[in-house]
Structure 1
C-alpha cells in the first residue's frame, strides 16, 4: 500500500513513542526525565535488570545500549508484536485518530483480488469440515481416533476431509457463485495440461487448514488415506495467498501463547503440533512440509528470540536439524538464537507424548541444547582425531563455521565455547602439551644446562647476545603485548585462565603471532622460538622473568590478566577514536557518546585496578575527563601507579 508523503511523519508526531513502548516496559522514573520526554527502562528485547533501553519522545526513536535494538514506534510494533508494516501503521493511525489514506487503484485491485481468493479458501474450509461428518469420511474419523484425536481437537484445528471425487469441491464452490478462474488461482483446483474442466487438487485426504498470523485461511495440507498414494502429504501450490517457505502452521495461536509466557516449539508436521497443543504446549508451530527456510527462521524470531527445534528422532529429522546449523549461523546473534531438543531415536513429539506423557516432553525442552552444541556434535561425532592433521582439519571446519556469524560478540562467545569443548575432548594432554604444573615441579634440568625450562625457555634471565636483535618499544601496546607473551611462555600453566583474552591478541608482528599460536596449540615452531628469544633479550622486559617467577599462581594470573586488560583497553580506545572520526557529523550521536564513555571507563579500570568502580558515571566524571583528554592528546602509554 502506497502512503502519501508526510503521512508517517504526522503519525509519529501525534503519538509519542513512549506511549507505544510504555505498554511493554516499566520506566525507571529515577533515571528518566519525563518533562523532556527522556525515558529509560530495562530492554524488552533481551533479559536484563539495568535500565539500558532509552526512548526519546522528541526524536521519536528508541535505542538499547545492551543489544543495540533501535527504531521508531512502527519498528517497535513490528519487532515486538510481529506485525506487518501496514498493520503497524493502521494500529498507530487508529490511536492517533487519523484516517488511513485510500490505496492507489492498482493496490486496491490487488487487495480486492486477494480478498476474493480468501473467500474461496474460507468456503473450501467450511466444505471440507462438512465432509468430515459424512459416511465417506468414516475411515478418516477412525484414523484420527486412533491418533488420539477427539471432536474438540478436530473443531479447534478445523480438520476436514476431501472425498475421493475428481470435481466435488470445484462443483460445490461454483454452486456458491465463485468463479472457476478464482478457484484455480486459489489452488483449490487445477486444469489439465491438455485443457478441459478443472479438477480438485485434494482427493481422499484428511485436510488441515493453514492460516496466517492474522487468522486468514491461505492454504491447506492434506494427508492421504490410501497407502499407495503418490504423496503422503500434499500442500496447496504457490498462490498469491500461499508461500509455504514463508509461513508456519499454527502461527497465530502460537504467537498468542508466547505472549503469555510459553516457549516457541518447532515440530516437524501437523500431527506433532496438534499433539503438543493438546498436551499443553500451545506455542507449537511447524514448517509446511519442507526444510526450515530463512524466511521461516526470521518469522520464528519475530515471535520468540529463542525457539526450540524439536524435530523427529529418526535419521532424517536429525539430518534436518544439523542442516539447519548452516542456515542459522549467518543469522544468529543477540535476540536471535536457537535451541535443539534431541528426541529418542525413532520418535517424534507425538510418539513421545503418547508413550511418556507431557512431563517427559517438558523435561526434554528444559534440557534443550544451544546451537553451538549441535555444531560441535556435527563436526566431531564419528571422527577419529588421532593426529595433528585431523585436529587441524577439525579446527579449520569450526573456524569457518564460526566466521559466518555476523555479530562480533556472539562470534567471540562461540569461540570461547568451542575452546572449552576442545579442551574437554583432548583434556588429558592439556597440561602436558603446555608444560603445566608438573613441568614446573620437574626441578633443574640436566647437569650443566642451568635451570629447568618451560615451553622451551630457560628460566634464568639471559643477557642479550651481541648478534641478537633487541626490539625497541614502539608503543605501550607493544610492551604490554610482549610482556604478556613472555609471561605465558615462562608460566604456561597460566594460559587456561586467560586463553580467551590471548585468542583476541592478534599480534602485528608475524613472529609474535607464531609464538602465540605455539602457546595456545602446544606446538613448537622456529618463528615462535625466534620471537621468544627476542622477548627474552628485550631490555624493557628484562625484569619480567625474575618478577613473575617470584609470584604464586594466583598473583601471577592477576598480573597477566591486568596486562591483557590494559592492552585490550588501549586497543579499544584506538578503535573507537577511528570510528568516532568516521561517525561524528555535527552533534555527537548518543550511542557514540556512550561507547566513548564506556571505552574510557574500561581503560581507566584496567590502568587503575586499585580504584573501585562506583557504577555511577557522575562520580567518575573527573577521572574520565582526564582519561579522555590524555587519550585525545595521544598519550597512549601510561605506567601503572606505584604501590
Structure 2
C-alpha cells in the first residue's frame, strides 16, 4: 500500500531509535554516551564480543563496523523481526501511537493475490518432492546419486521431479485451484496452438527457489533429456519471481554469513548445494543470468566482500569479467568483490569431489581482489613492446577506472594499477636485457691473461668513467627526479620516459619506483617522504646541481618543467646509449678489433654530441676523431684505457686533439 506524504518522516520523528534497538541489544556503558545519543553495543546481526554496533540516536541511523549493517528504525525491525516493509511500519506506528492510514484497496488486492500464489507454490514443491520417489523418477534419482546427493540432502533442499505427463497442472487443478492462478504462479502456460494449457516443467529435476524469508517463489528445472534445448530452465517472471532480484539459497546464506562464514557466489544450483553440504553454507547463485546490479546490492547487504567462484572455463571467466564492469560504478568504501578462480574446466562441485573441501577452502583464502582481475583481463596474452601499445593499455585502464564514482576508491585503484604497471614493465625491461648486468666476463681465446671483470659504466669512483660520464649521469638523474617531485602536474606526462630510466644509483632507483607507483597523487612529496623517509628527498632537493636548475628554482612553472625534463631525458639517454654501445662493442669483440667497432663507437659519440649541443658548448673541451665526431677528453681517455684493458692498445682510430 502507498503511505501519505510525510507519514514516515513523522513516524521517525516520534520514535527513538535507541529505544527500538535497545530491545535487542545490551548497551556498552563504557563506550556509550546516553546524553548525546551516542550508543554502542555488540552487533545483533553477527556474532561478536566487542561493541562495534553504533547507534546515532539523534540522526536516527545505525551502523556496524564489523558486518557493515546499516539503516534506520524501519530497516532494523525488518531485519530483526523478519517482516516486510509495511509490517515493520505497522509495528513502529503502534509503538509511536500513530494510526496506520487506510489501505489502498488495489494494493490490498495485490497483496492477497501474492499470498495465494505463495501457497500454490508451496503445494507445487510438495508435489514434486513426492514425484521424485515414484517409478518415473528412477533416472532422476540415479543422476542425483551420481552427483553425490544423499536422500537426506535431497530432502534438505526440497529437490523434486516434474514428470513428463500428469504434472503439477493436473494435480493442482484436481484440488480445485483456478487455472489462472496456476498460470500466474508460472507453473503452466497457454498453448500457442490454442488447445488448452501445458506444464512449463516436464521431465525435469526441480530445485525450489525461495526468497530471503524462505517462501517458495519459483523453480529451476534440470532437463533429463540431453536433447532438450535448455539444460536448465527457470520459472518465468511472475508477481512472486523476478530472477534479476533473486538469489538461490538467499535466506540460509544470509544467516550463515551473519555467523562469520564467507559469502560465496557460485554459478548454479548444484554448485550451491555441493558447497553448502561441504561446509560453505553462505553460498548463493544468480538464476540463469549474469549477476545484475540488484543482485550485487543484495550480496553487499549480506557481506561487504563476496567471493565470486565461477567455473574455470571460458564461459566462467567471461562471466567474471562481466561482473567487474557491473560492479565498478557501484563500489563504495569497504564494499567490493574478490574472485576465486577454479582450475581450468572445473566447477566448485568438481573440485570438492576430486580434491576435497580443503582445496576449495584454499582457493577461497587465496581469492584475488577485483583490481587484480581487472588488470589480468586487460594485459593477459598481450605484448607491450611499443609506446603505442603501452598507451593503449593506459587508455583502456583509465576508461575503466573512470567508471568508479567514489573518488577515494578511484584514487586507490589508480595507485594499484600504477603498482602493477610498474611491476610489469620493470620485469620486461630486466628480462629483455635493458637493465645493465653488474658483472661481465670477457676472455679472448689466446689472451687468457687479460681475463677480468669489466663494468664499463659502473658508478664506482674507481671505474673508467667514474669521474666523467657516471658523475654526469648521476647529476642528470638527480635533476630529473627532483623536477618530477617538484612539479607533480607535469610528472605524469613523463611516465613512459621515467619507466625507461635505468638509474645507476640505488637511492635514485628507490625514488623512481616510488614516483611510478604514486604519479598523480595529490601530495606526491608527502607520499615519497612517508615511503623513503625525509632525508632521501632532502638530500636530493638540496644537491647543489639540482638547486640551481630553473625547474627547481621556479617550481610550479609547468612550461619550464616540461622543457627541463625533455632536455635532461634526451641528454641522459644519449649518454647512456653511448655507454651501452661501448659495453656491447667490447662484449662482441673477439680477438682483433676492426673498423666496425670504431664505427659503432663513433655513432654513439655523435649521438652524445647532438644531445649536448648548447649545453656549455663554448666551455667544454672536446677531442676531434678522424670521422669528424667529437668526444669529451675525459671520456675519450677512459675509452682508450678500456681498449688497452682488453688488449687493443694501438687502434686504427687514434684521436687527434
**Same fold by TM-score, threshold 0.5 exceeded?**
yes
1:53, 1:63 within 8 Å by CA — same for their partners in 2? yes
Deviation at 1:44, TM superposition (A): 9.5
Deviation at 1:182, TM superposition (A): 1.2
**How many equivalent residue pairs?**
500
Q: Residue in 2 aligned with 1:151?
A: 151
Q: Residue in 2 aligned with 1:327?
A: 326
Q: Residue in 2 aligned with 1:293?
A: 292
SS of residue matched to 2:2: coil
* 1:341-352 equivalence runs, <5 A: 341-352=340-351
Q: Residue in 2 aligned with 1:261?
A: 260
Give the whole-Å Cα distance in 2 for the aligned partners of 1:499 and 1:78. 49
CA deviations 1:404-427 (Å, max 9, x no partner) are 111112112212221221222122
Give the whole-Å Cα distance in 2 for the aligned partners of 1:145 and 1:426. 52
Alpha-carbon spacing, 1:502–1:318, altered in 2? closer, same or farther (3 Å): closer
* 1:135-146 equivalence runs, <5 A: 135-146=135-146
Give the whole-Å Cα distance in 1 for the aligned partners of 2:510 and 2:273. 55
Rg larger for? 2
Alpha-carbon spacing, 1:63–1:357, altered in 2? closer, same or farther (3 Å): closer
Q: Residue in 2 aligned with 1:535?
A: 551
1:3, 1:101 within 8 Å by CA — same for their partners in 2? yes
Give the whole-Å Cα distance in 1 for the aligned partners of 2:349 and 2:490. 60
Q: Residue in 2 aligned with 1:134?
A: 134
Q: Which runs of 5+ in 1 are unaligned?
A: 461-477, 508-531, 542-643
SS of residue matched to 2:359: helix
Q: Residue in 2 aligned with 1:467?
A: none
CA deviations 1:507-527 (Å, max 9, x no partner) are 9xxxxxxxxxxxxxxxxxxxx
CA deviations 1:199-238 (Å, max 9, x no partner) are 1111111111111111111111111111112211111111
1:445, 1:453 within 8 Å by CA — same for their partners in 2? no
Give the whole-Å Cα distance in 2 for the aligned partners of 1:373 and 1:23. 44
RMSD: 4.3
Give the whole-Å Cα distance in 1 for the aligned partners of 2:7 and 2:97. 13
Give the whole-Å Cα distance in 2 for the aligned partners of 1:263 and 1:66. 13
1:27, 1:41 within 8 Å by CA — same for their partners in 2? yes
* 1:96-111 equivalence runs, <5 A: 100-111=100-111
1:389 aligns with 2:384: no
1:452 aligns with 2:472: yes
Give the whole-Å Cα distance in 1 for the aligned partners of 2:410 and 2:42. 25
Give the whole-Å Cα distance in 2 for the aligned partners of 1:440 and 1:110. 83
2:248, 2:269 within 8 Å by CA — same for their partners in 1? yes
1:248 aligns with 2:247: yes
TM-score by length of 2: 0.66
1:442, 1:452 within 8 Å by CA — same for their partners in 2? no
Alpha-carbon spacing, 1:54–1:424, altered in 2? closer, same or farther (3 Å): same
SS of residue matched to 1:378: helix
Give the whole-Å Cα distance in 2 for the aligned partners of 1:151 and 1:47. 32
Deviation at 1:82, TM superposition (A): 9.2
1:302 aligns with 2:319: no
Deviation at 1:252, TM superposition (A): 0.9
Q: Residue in 2 aligned with 1:198?
A: 197
SS of residue matched to 2:330: coil
SS of residue matched to 1:203: coil
CA deviations 1:483-519 (Å, max 9, x no partner) are 9999x99956424335555422499xxxxxxxxxxxx
CA deviations 1:66-119 (Å, max 9, x no partner) are 999975323556789997543543454566676654421010011111122222
Q: Which runs of 5+ in 2 are unaligned?
A: 439-454, 502-506, 525-547, 558-657
Alpha-carbon spacing, 1:197–1:450, altered in 2? closer, same or farther (3 Å): closer
Alpha-carbon spacing, 1:69–1:399, altered in 2? closer, same or farther (3 Å): farther
Deviation at 1:4, TM superposition (A): 3.8
